[in-house]
Amino acid sequence: MKKIIFIIFGYLYFQPSSGQDFTPLKPFTDRTSVKWKAIAQRTGKEIDKINSPKKNQIAEVLKTRFEFLEREFKNKKYLADSALQNQVDRVWNRLLTHNTLSYEPGEVLISNAADINAYSFGEGTIIVTIGLLARLRNESQLAYTLAHELAHYELNHTLLNIAKQIEQTDHPQVEAALANIRAGNISSKDYSIVKAWVFATTHFQRQEEVAADSLGFIFFKNAGYRQDQANGLLKLLDSAQWAKHHPGEALFYPLSFSGFPFKPQWLKEHKTSTVKDSLKEIFLDSLRSHPHIRERLAALSKIKVSAQGRLYFTDSSRFQRVVQKAEFQCVQSAFENNRFDQTLFYALQLKPDHPGNQYITTLIGRVLLSLNIQRRNSTAYRYVPGSSLLYRHDGKAVINFLNNIDLRDLSEITFRFINLKGNFNAQNEEHYFILWKVCLFTDRWETARKVKTTYQLNFPHGEYIEDMMTY
């Protein structure tokens, strides 16, 4: 029964089977390296240059951020894949060598997070997520992403923003309202106080975003990248919750079968309007600190920069190989972080273009089977948000689907998906286990017996022999 218990804990149970056609990327773990020591040294230098009456408070925030970064390294949250890192470093170094900077920045790390994001950590380290790399269309879009974050560092926005937030949070009413909210006591009065505080701080940030857009665009152009792709990157970020491949109902085609078609009512949205939900929307808006896309595009159109030298031509085929690797890792990252809605969101996009890919098929099978088990244990809330209120477009649709579909239909979809010709691989042990297990859930006892017998004949010393012998 050991392995069946492990399945409750998500990815810990499942390990890549032999014969899989994608190998999850390895994390960066060496905290004694030159890279890590440089980060530690830059944090000290950043603290030394603080010129503010609140220097001690700002220094504490920077130290806390460094400790967070250290924990992230320890928890293997940054990827060490040479192909991805070389691509990012190539763009980063080009930006640095073609621009004159007041402050020397650090390096770029690739976070193993499926969310689409990039940010300046404060002491010069730039973070880009695997989710962002997976979303890009070309190298120029990556260049503008990095140029924007480089501009934040050059303009000293991190320290200014920390000081601003300290000043705002020092307000007694704000501190009291936040304390009530942390305790779970949310009143209309606290809601109004926090709303005013959030909007005050994000207005400050939004001015910074426009400035970073403008200076970043200059850095970007000086390095010879395509000007139109700055606009392309901004539009891409604005549509992050649309599927990159096969949007809309086409996203769910891999889960629609002859005799058991996908039901549109599974995508129905459940709306709520409580004070707590409204509060969530406010904090979400604080994360979306960037101005509206139309404002950002309009500001960029007014910038006139003469390119320094000839346009830089990139190897698009090499870049697309990197992006595709990031797309597959995005699925793995979401699964490792127990975000089953994200896992399906990314995996279902890739499935039609890679119909025979065993990695994608297996991950979808894992998620569907795991959700069957979580539903039976009343623990599905740990893996799928209970509401899609804070999401949009195709991301919202996946969450609605997973919340709306009943357990019987979920089990049926799982059976039909893994049993489908072209999906089931007779050389993949895990496929036998998924099929056998879901046959038990759907009362297909004779089929379960045949699957078990075939598995025992083909894999007499297989990983799942002990599990199947318990039934």
DSSP for 83-97 reads HHHHHHHHHHHHHHH
CA distance 370 to 255: 16
Q: CB of 266 within 8 A of CB of 405?
A: yes
Provide the terminal-to-terminal Cα distance of the chain, rounded to the nearest Å.
10
The band of 308, judged by pLDDT with boundaries at 50, 70 and 90, is: low
Task: Map tokens 């159109």 to a residue.
Answer: 301
Question: How buried is 314 (Cβ within 10 angstroms: 0-12 exposed, 13-18 middle, 19+ buried)?
Answer: buried
Name the pTM for this structure: 0.82
Q: 338 by DSSP, 3-state: which?
A: coil
Q: Of 47, 37, 32, nearest to 106 (Cα)?
A: 37
Residue 213 CA to residue 60 CA, distance in Å, equals 29
CB-based burial, 119-133: b 16+ in 10 Å, e otherwise: ebbbbbbbbbbbbbb
Measured CA to CA in angstroms, residue 280 lies from 187, 337, 351, 391 at distances of 14, 21, 33, 11
**DSSP label of 334:** H
> Tokens 């010709």 map to which residue?
421
Q: Where are the domains of the chain?
A: 2-23+338-469, 34-317
Instruction: Return d(Cα 241, Cα 392) in angstroms, integer.
Output: 6
Proportion of the chain above pLDDT 70, given as a percent? 82
DSSP, collapsed to helix, strand or coil, labels residue 79 as: strand
- The whole-angstrom separation of Cα 323 and Cα 316 is 10
pLDDT, one tens digit per residue, over 384-437 is 988 877 777 898 999 999 999 999 999 999 999 999 999 999 999 999 999 999
- Examine the pLDDT at 205 and tell me if it is beyond 80: no
Per-residue pLDDT, 16: 40
What integer best gives the mean pLDDT of the chain?
A: 83
CA angle 274, 277, 281 (to 5 degrees): 135
Q: How far is CA 21 from CA 101, 342, 354, 421, in A?
A: 43, 21, 11, 18
Which pLDDT band, with edges at 50, 70 and 90, does 364 fall under? very high
| Rounded CA separation 108/159 (Å) | 19
More confident call, 254 vs 67: 254
pLDDT for position 164: 73
Pair 147, 223: CB distance under 8 Å: yes
The conformation of residue 246, written as its DSSP 8-state character, comes to S
Taking CA atoms, 358 is separated from 19, 41, 52, 372, 428, in Å, by 8, 44, 56, 21, 9
Least confidently predicted of 48-57, 73-82, 141-150, 407-416: 48-57
